[in-house]
Structure 1
Amino acid sequence: MNEAKKSGEVLVDEIHVDKDELMRYLNGEIQFTEWKQGQDLMKFFASEDNAPEPTETKDGDIDENASEGSEDEDEEDDDGDAEADQEEEGEEELLDEKDEEYFPPGISTRKGKVGRPRKPRPEQVTPKRPRGRPPKARMPGLTSSSEGSPMTHELRLGREERRLKGKRGFPRGRIRNRVPKDLRGLMGEAHLCFARGSEQEAIKMCLEIIRQAPRCPDPYQLLAMIYEDKDDMEKSLQFSLIVAHLRPRDTEEWTRCAELSLEQDDIQQAIRCYSKAIRYNPKELSNHMERIHLYEQLKDTKKVIECYQILLKALPEDQGEQYMQLAKDLVKTHHQNGDISSAVDILSHAFAKHPKLISSEDVNILAELHIASRHYQQAMQVISDHCGVGVRSQSSHEVLDLEQLSLADRETKQDSVDVEVPDGLPIDLRAKLGVCLIHCKQFQSAKNVISLLMTKDPNMMGDLVLDVAEAYAELGCYGESLPLLQALVETKNYNLAAVWLRYAECLTSLGQLEQSTMAYRQVLQKAPGHLDARIALSSIEQQQGNADVALELLSTGSDEEVAADVQLIWQRSMLLYSKGLLREFTRDSLLLLMAYVNQASDKNVPKRLSGNLGVISHDNWFSLYCKTIDALVKLRQLEEAEALSNTVLVSKRFARESSQQLDVEVMGICVYFLSAKYRRVYEEMRSLLSKHADSAAVWNLFSFVTNLTNDNRHHKFCLRLTLKKLHENIALCILNGHNAMVNGTFKHAIGEYIRGFRQKPNDPFLTFMIAISICHIACQKYTTKRHSLIVQAFAFLKRYEELRGVSQETCYNIGRALHELGLLHMALRYYHKGLDLPPSSDDPRFDLRSELAYNLSLIYRHSGNEEMAIELLSNSVI
C-alpha cells in the first residue's frame, strides 16, 4: 500500500487508479473510452457483490454546528422519499417522460462511497430569482453532449437497479446535494461576482463547482439567474429544470418551470412540470386546474377526464361545493364525448358523497342523463329521492321502488301507480317526471303531473312542452302529441322548422295527408335544404297520385343541391323509373352506382354526392343495378352497360350473396352477347361454369350461346371438364352426347346418355335421347341386328311416353321417330292422335298442330293421296 502511494497511485481493493490519468480525464484531455482504469473501476462498482459499504463515521469527524441544522432537513427528505414512493399510480400515467429523478450526465449515483464519507455541511440558501421574459431562440445541445456516453449509460443502469432495490424494501441512503464545505467559499464568491456584475467570472466559478459537486443545485440556480439577467431565457429554463430535478420535492420550482415553458409556448413540457408538481404536492389544486386547461387546449379529452378524476380524489372532504362543481364539469366533458354512463356514475357518486349540497339543478342534470340513456325508472327514482315526489301503488297504497315499476297495459292505458307531487317542485323537473311517466305508460298520472305545464305560456316553456310531445310520439300516441305541437307552431319563439317537422310527422301518422302536406311545405319554406322533409313530401304527393309534383319537388333547386344527397337522388331515380323516363333514370342511377361500387377501393366519394351511402340497403342497391342494366339495354346503350357490368364485377360489391353474384355475371354475359362479342361470351362462360357447375341455368345459357355461335371449341372443353373434374355431372353428359350426335358418332352419344341415365333413370329427356340415338344407328347402311335396335328404340320411346304423358309433344316425337324408321302406318297413327289433343300451354309457340299436319301431309303425298295432304295443309298449316 505504501508502495502504491509512493508511485502516485490510489489502491481501491484490487484496482489501481493512476492520479495523473484521472486528472487528465477530469480536465477533458482524454475521453472516458481512453481511460482504461476508469472503465475497470466502473465495472467493479457496477457489480452488486463488490459495491462498497458506507463506512461508519466517528463522532469527531462530524461538524456539530452543521449537523444540528441539517438533521431535521435530512429527515424531512427521507420522509418525502417514502411519501413519493406511495403516491397514486394514475398520476404516473399522465407523464410523457420517464418519471425518474434527474442526474447530470457522467455522475455516479451510488449511495456508498470509497473511504471516509464527507461531513455534512449546512446548506447555503440561494435566493429565488424573479421571473423574466424568455427569448424566442432555444439554446441547442445544452444537455445532450453526454447523454450517449458509455459511462452515463452504465451509471443510469446502476441507479435504476438501486432504485428498484429501494422499492423492494432495501434501505435507501440520504441524498446529500448541498454545497460541500470546501466549495462554499467559492459559491459565495460566485454570488458576489454576480452581484457586482461580473457574470463571466460567476459562470466560471459555478461550472467549477458543478465539476466537483455536480449534484448540488445551488450553482445551477445561480446560472439560471445569470442567464435570465442576460435575457437568455432558453438557457435559464434549462438550468431551472436541472434545479427542479435535483430538488424534486420543490413544487414551487416545478410550477415556475411550467410557467416559463408556457412563455416559450412549450405546452408539453409545461404539462410535465405540472405533473411533477402534482406528484409531490397533490393538494395544490391550482396545478391540477392549470394542467386541465393545457390538455383542453390540446383537445385531448381522454387526458382531461383523467386529470379531473385525479383532482376529485385530491380534494379534501371539507371542500364539498368545489367537489360538486368539478364533478359537473367532468360530467359535461363526458357528455360532450358521448359517454353518458360515465357521466351518470360520476354525478351519482357526487350525490352519495355530498348529499347535503345537492340542488335542484343537480337533480335536473342527473335526471336528464338518465332520460338520455333511456333509464326512465332511474330518472324517476332520482326525482323521488331528492325532491319529495311520492309514488304509491294503486292497489296496496305502498311506496314503490321505481326501478321495479311494472309497465301498464298500453291498449287499456290503465295506470298502476299514484304520484304525489309537492307544490314547490320546479317546472323543469315536473316536465321530466311527466316524460318518465309517459315512457312507463302511466298516462293518466302523466297528465296530472304535466297539467300545470299546460297552463304556462308556450313561448316561455316551449322546450319542455316539446319534450312531452316527443315522448308521446315516440310511443305512438300521436293523438296526445298533436295538440301540444299545434300549440307550439302557433307561438312566436317555437315557430321553427324542427317543430313543424314533428307536427307534419304526427299528421302523416294520423292519416291527415292534406294537412301534413301543408306542414311539410312550411318546413321547406323555413329550411329549403331539409332533405328529409323534401323526400317525405314527395312520397305523400306520390301517394295522392301527383307524380309530376313529386318529381318537381325532388328536382327543385340548383344542380348542386339536387345532386348533393344520396337519398334525394335515389328517391328521384325510382320515381323516374316508375314513370318510364329511362334516359333520366339512367343518368341518376349511374351516378349512384358508380359511387357505390367505387367506395370499397376509393373512400373519396365524388364531389357531386354527399350523405351516407349506407342508408340504402344492399338489396335496394342490387335492384337498382338490375333496373339500370335493363334500362341501358332497352336504350341500346350497350357500351355503358358493359362498362357498368365490368365495374361491378371488379368491385365485388354484390359478392356477399352467391345468388346475386351469379346474376351479375350472367347479366354481364348477356350484355356481351347482345353486343355480338361472342369470343368474350365464351371466355366468361368458361369462367362461370368453373364456379357454378351445379347451376342448371348456367348450363342452359352455355348451351344457348354455343348453339347460336356455331363454335365447335366447346366440344374439347366439355370433354376435358368431364375427365378432370365433373365425372358425374348430368349436364355434361347431355352436352357431350349432343356433341357426339352432331359429329355422327352415335355410339359415343349413347354412352354419354347412358351415364346420365344411370343417375336419373326416370328422366324423360335422357330416355328420349337414347331412343333417338338408337334410331340413328338403326338407319345406318351397314348396321347389323337392325331389328333388335328398332325394338330397343321403340321400348325407350314407350318409356318416354310413360314418363312424359300423352300429349302433342310425345305424339309428335314418337311419330317422327317411327317416320324416320319407315314405319309409316305406326307414325300415321301417332300424328292423328297428336292432332286430336289440345296444346299443353296457351302460348302459341307450344302448339304443335301445324308440325303434326305437315309431317302427316308428307306421308299422304308419299302414298299418292294429294287431296288429303292439301286439306291438312289448308286446315292446320296455312
Structure 2
Amino acid sequence: MDSELPQEGGPEKMDIEKELTNKFLSGQMSFAEYSSEWYEGDEEEDLDEADKRFEEEPQQSRQLSKILKKKRRYTRLSTALLGLMGEANLRFARGDVEMAERMCHEIIKQLPTAAEPYQTLAQIYENDSDKSLQFSLLAAHLGRADADEWWRLAGISKQRNDIKQAMICYTQATKAEPQNMETHLRRLEFVEYLEEIKFPLNSLNISRVKCYHKIVTSMSPHKGEIIMKYARMAASLYDTSTEVERTIEVLSAAFKKCPALFTPQDMNIYLEMLITQKQYQTCIEVFVSGVGIDIEAEIQTFKTATGEIEEQTNYINCMIPDNLAIDLKSKLLVCFIHLGAFNLVQTLLSDFLKNDVEKAGDLYMDIEEAFSAVGHHEMAIKLLEPLVRNTNFDLGAVWLKHAECLLNLGRIDDAVESYHKVLKHVPQHPDARRKLFTILESKGCINEALNILQQDPKFVVSPSLLYEQCKVLKKYNMLLKYLEVGEIFLSRHGTKLRHQEELIMASRVKGALELLHNFRTLRGESIHSEDDIQFADESFKIPVGEEWEFFLELYNIAFQNKLYPIMERLTFTAFLVKGFSTYRQHLEYYCAQSCMLNRDFKNMLKFLRDLANKYYGTRIFNLLGYVFNFSEECIQNRYITRLFQKDCNVVRLLFYGNNFFISGRYLIALKYYLEYHDHCREPISALLIAISILSLAAQKTVDKHHNLILQGISYMQTYRKLRKCDQEAYYNLGRAYQMLNINNLAIECYEKALKCGPIAQCSQHGVLDLTKEAAFNLYVIYKDHSPEIARRYILKYLVV
C-alpha cells in the first residue's frame, strides 16, 4: 500500500474538509457544490497543465497518466482504523450488515475524508439507490477511482437528470485517464447532447471548445493527427469568439508536440495570432523550428543607467527557403521590423516589393502598419504609394493610412489632399475630419476648417465629432450654428415626440424612451421617425453635469435670439435624457416657460397643472390666469374645482369669472366677480365688474341698457378711485366711453391720461407708458371729423 501522503494545509484545512463531508452526508449540499468547494471552485483542470508536465519529463511516457492527474491528497487510514476497516469488510462478507455499518460509521466519525468506509457503505446500501450513489460519489472523490467507476456514476447521474453532477463525473473520468481518447470522446458526446437540449453550458464551466483544447493538451505526440484535428477545431471556435490568447495556447500546445504536421495554413494562423499579441521573439523561434528559416544572431549584454545587466539580441543574417509562401515572408518581415533588425529588413523589403500589388496588397498594408508602429514613416510610404496608385486599393482606409503617413513626414499639403480623398470615399469618417480640421485651423483657414466638421444628417452621424464641433463653434463665437449643431447632438438620446400623449409620457416617466417605443409598437406605428438622425454606435458619453450645462447654454442662446420654437424642442428632447432625471423639476419649469414664449398654451397648461400641485401660490395663479385667456379649451371649471378643493382660496372666484367671461357668459361671470369684490375690494375686481356690465349692455337681448351703462360707469369710477395710478385709470375710462361712443368724455379722459406720468419704470423692462396708446385712440376719434387735430396727435406722440 502507498505510503501516507503529507497533509497539506494543516489541521485547519482538515477541519474544513470534514465539515464539507458532513454537510454532504447530511444532505445540506449537493455533490456538485461539495466538489466545487473541495477544489476551491476550480472544477476544470488547467488546459495546458498536462502539456507543461509533458515538457518537464518527456522520457517517462509510461508514468504520464500519473503525472497528468491533478495533484491532491488522499487520506490514508491509521493502523488501528485500517484493522477496524478490515473487520467491517469481514463482517459484511459474513452477512453481519448491521455491525459492518456501525464500524464504517465509527471510522467516518474519526476520519471522514477516508474513502474506504464509503466504498463499503455503498455496497451495504446497494438496495437504496440514493444512499448508494451518495456513498459511491464520496468514495470515488476521496479515493483513487478509475475512469470506469466515474463513467458508471456519470451514467446514474444522467439517468437522474442531475446534469451538473454528471458533468463532474465525466470530467473526473478524463482526469483519471487523460491519454485515453475514449474518455474524452464520451465527455464530448455528453456536451453535444447538452447543446442539443439547449442546456446552459456556462453554468457548468465547460464547453465544446474546452473539450477540444483538453484533448490537445492531454494526447501524447505519437497521436499527432488527433492533436492537429482538435487543435484546428479549437482554434476555429476561439477565433470566432475572438479569444486570441486561447487560440495561441492551443496552437502552441500542438506545435510543441507535432510541428511537422503543421500545414502552411496552420502556420499562418499561428503566426498571425502571435503577432497580434506582439510575441515577435516567439514568432522567430517558430520560423526557425517550423518553417526551416536559418537565422544568425548574437546576444549582447549591456548595463543600463540603473546598473542592471540586460541582454539584447542582434540579428545578423537570415536564410529563407525559396519556396516560402509570400504571406509567411511578410510576417517574418513584420517581426524583424518590431525587433529592430533593420539591416535584414532592407534586404527583405526590397525582395518583397517585387511582388505584384494586385495579389499582395493586404500584405503591403500589414508591413506598412509595422513600420508606422515603430515610427519609420519614410519606409511606410514606400509601401503605401504603390497601393494608392492601384485602382483595386483606391479605398478610404488606404488613403487614411497614406494621409497619416504624409502628416508624420511633415508633407502637410499632400496630407490634406489625401484626407480629402478619404472623405470622397467615406464622407462621414470622423477621424479624417478631425485631422483635416486641425491642419486647416493651423493654416488659418477657419471657415474651410469649420465646414470640414459639418456632417450630413442624412447619413450616420458621429456624436463625438458633433460635440467637438460644438466646442469649436463656441470658441469662434458662432452661436447660432452652435445652437443648430447642439440641438442635433442632444437629440441622440431619443426621438422626436409626435403628439401630446408622448410628451406626457416623456415628462412623467423616467427613462421614457423604451416606453415610447412600446407605445408606438402597440399603436402600429414605426418606432423611429423618418427624419430621426441615425447616430454611430459608439460608446461616447459626457458627464451628466456637463451635458446639463450644455443644455442650459443652448436654451439661453435660443432665448436671447428669440428662437422660441427651438427652446421648446430642446426642453422636450431633454426629457428623454436619462441622466437629467435629477433635474426634472427644472425641466418642467423650462418647458412651461418655452411653451409660453412660443404661445403653445395647450402644452403650457399641462406643465402648469403639474407645477400648481407643487408650488401652490400667487405666481402659479397669475400664470394659470394668463394661459386660460389664450387657451382654446375655455371650460376649465373642473380643474379649478380640483385645484381649490383643499384650500377654498377666494381667488378661485376670479378664475370662475374669467372662464365664463371668455366663453361669453357675462351674467354668470358677473356673479363671481361681485362675490370676489365683496371679499376683496380691489381695483381689478371693480374693472372686471364694469367690463362685464358694459358687455351685457352691448347685447341686443338685454333690457334697460341705460341702467346697465350707468352701473358700468359707476364701477369704472370705483375702479379709478381704487387704482392709484392716474394714467392707467383714465386710459381705461376713455376706452369705456369710446366703446359706448360717448366721445366727448372719452377725449377728456385720454387728454388727462396724456398729462399723467408713466405707469411704472423698471431697469430690466424699461418704462411702462400708455401715452402712445392714448394718442392713437384720440387720432381714431378725430380722423374723420377733424383730420388736422388727428394729424397733430400723430406728429406729437407717434412719429419716431
Same fold (TM over 0.5): no
TM-score, normalised by the number of residues in structure 2: 0.42
TM-score, normalised by the number of residues in structure 1: 0.39
Give the number of the structure whose alpha-carbon radius of gyration is greater. 1
